[in-house]
Amino acid sequence: MNKLRPTEHLRAAMRLYPDTSRMVDEFRADKGHGLPDWPAWCFMPMAGWYAVVSQANMDKLLPGRRLPPHLITDVGRLAAIGTWRYSQGVYRLDADLQAAIADTIIVGDIPSEVLFRLPEWCVYIETPGRTWCGDTLHGFWCHLEFDVNAHRNELRLLLDTEQSLIPVPVHIGPWTVTEAIDRMASEAAKQAGLANLLFDKNPEQVQQLAADINPLISMLLYLCSDEPDIDDARVPGSSPSRPKPVKTKKGWRLFPADKPRIWTVGGKIGAQLRQSQADLAEQTGRSVKAHLRRGHWHGFWKGPHEGERKFFYRWMMPMIVGGGRDG
């Protein structure tokens, strides 16, 4: 197997923070006891990762046991990579599916309740051909954060660019992508390290950042949608899931995955998209894109009006229009 970028970054992170496993076990064992409780969809809050980074840099702490700005970003990096370490799922989207999903605009509020269905605590999605601020974007990690102090839910992205790893927190709630970025910018202004790494808040940069993040969130929404086309070529029919604790002599423990696992995403749908494009080209002999209606997200509630209802979220494929009765 060729070297995978997320695996190389994981090795580098564990060299910097070799005590990660022990501290993670201790924090998770103390969840809801000595420490505040947090939702099951969050592997470990950022406060725990802050403690791991602080413990390894005791000689660099500022008064009040605060991390200096240049180490604040390490918290975001370690939180993503350290969480991903326990499943190591690498998601490879079919090229045509990824292009179609990236072109799907999220209209209205972010369906935040869907994002809580991430197939693993942290995922890594490869993004061949994409860029971020002019730099190659190889992929990105994503996990969910529960701020134990503010009781705020966040979508945490870690962008794997050619030059650096860039943490981007996205506040999720009943608001649009642009508003989510605006909220993040306001919070970033309070944290010099993050603010300097991303941008100085102004409307143009907020809009641009929202436009850049929209395709990434669309890819995540597909993984979290109902019946996503995800498979493992080596173990057909399997599905990603969160690792289970193992009972040991020292109590229940979570063990990191032995190696990364490659998940192919959209193989069947990608083939359907290519077939539709070929059929349309044969019918019209004209540009395919001009005759495709853009894909879109469709969400709906299902269940009795008085009782438990479930929210379904699906990505609707681009539709061929104007191709006659056969189209």
Q: How far apart are the first and last CA of the chain?
A: 42
What span, in angstroms and rounded, lies between the C-alpha atoms of 287 and 281?
7
**Alpha-helix runs per DSSP H in 163-224:** 177-188, 192-198, 203-224
Give mean pLDDT, residues 11-17.
Answer: 97
Contact yes or no for 165/77 (Cβ under 8 A): yes
Q: Would you kindly state where each structural domain of the chain is located, as residue ranges?
A: 274-320
Where residue 326 falls among pLDDT bands split at 50, 70, 90? very low
Quick: pLDDT tens for 295-324. 666 776 666 767 677 766 776 766 555 444
pTM of the model: 0.86
Give mean pLDDT, residues 110-124.
Answer: 91
Which pLDDT score, from 0 to 100, does residue 301 have? 66
Contact yes or no for 317/273 (Cβ under 8 A): yes
What span, in angstroms and rounded, lies between the C-alpha atoms of 207 and 29?
41
Q: Which class for 247: exposed (0-12), middle (13-18), buried (19 or more C-beta within 10 A)?
A: exposed
**pLDDT cut 70: percent of the chain above it:** 82
Which pLDDT score, from 0 to 100, does residue 300 have? 63
| Residue 267: C-alpha distances to residues 85, 95, 135, 138, 230 (Å) | 26, 9, 28, 20, 8
Q: Which class for 122: exposed (0-12), middle (13-18), buried (19 or more C-beta within 10 A)?
A: buried
**Alpha-helix runs per DSSP H in the chain:** 5-16, 20-29, 46-56, 69-84, 95-102, 112-115, 177-188, 192-198, 203-224, 267-284
Quick: pLDDT tens for 268-292. 888 888 887 777 666 655 544 434 4
Where residue 193 falls among pLDDT bands split at 50, 70, 90? very low
Phi-psi region of 110 (alpha: psi -120 to 50; beta: other; left: phi over 0): beta
Structure tokens at 256: 């990191």
Which pLDDT score, from 0 to 100, does residue 268 have? 87
Pairwise pLDDT comparison (22 vs 70), residue with the higher score: 22
| Of the ranges 110-119, 138-147, 250-259, 294-303, the best mean pLDDT one | 138-147
Which pLDDT score, from 0 to 100, does residue 196 have? 47
What span, in angstroms and rounded, lies between the C-alpha atoms of 83 and 120?
9
Q: Is the pLDDT of residue 67 over 70?
A: yes
Which pLDDT score, from 0 to 100, does residue 148 have? 87
Pairing of strands 261-265, 89-93: parallel
Residues 6+ apart with CB under 8 A from 151: none
Which pLDDT score, from 0 to 100, does residue 182 have? 79
Which of 26-35, 149-158, 207-216, 262-271 shows the lowest per-residue confidence on average (mean pLDDT)?
A: 207-216
Give mean pLDDT, residues 210-234.
Answer: 89
Angle between helices 46-56 and 69-84 (to 10 degrees): 120
Pairwise pLDDT comparison (325 vs 231), residue with the higher score: 231
Which pLDDT score, from 0 to 100, does residue 25 have? 93
Quick: pLDDT tens for 157-180. 999 999 999 999 988 887 788 788
> Mean of the per-residue pLDDT values for the chain?
84
